[in-house]
Amino acid sequence: MYTIYHNPRCRKSREALQYLNEQGAALKIVNYLNEPFTKETLKTVLDLLGIPPSELVRKNENDWKAIPNRNELSQEEIVEVLVQFPKTIERPIVTYKDKGVLARPLEKLIFFWNNH
C-alpha cells in the first residue's frame, strides 16, 4: 500500500493524489496537518526518503522564516521545527514499502511509480 502525506490545499499534493488514483494504487491518505507527524514518524519517513531534514523544509514558509537562527539549526532541531510547524514540511511525500519520494515535481512520483 502506498501512503501519501497530503495537504489538500496544495496543488502539487492534489496532482500527486490524482496520479496515484489514476494508477489504481492501494492508498492510505494522511493529511499531515490534521494528523501531525511525531518525531519518530517523521524520522521514519526521512529514512524512507533518504534525505536529511533540511531538504524537507519549505524555506519560503512564514513559520520557517520566523525562526531567527534557522540557518544554525542542527538536523535534529530541524526535525523538531518540522513537527511543531507542519506547514514547513515540503509536500507531497509518497512512501511505499521501504522507500519514499518527495513527489515534487510530479515527474519524481512518476519515476518512483515506474520503478517499483
CA angle 73, 34, 19 (to 5 degrees): 95
| Per annotation, catalytic residue among 2, 6, 10, 86 | 10
Amino acid identity at 113: W
Neighbour-count burial for 51-84, b at 16+ CB within 10 Å, e otherwise = eebeebbbeeeeebeeeeebeebeeeebbebbbe
Residue 10 a catalytic site member: yes
| Catalytic center residues | 10
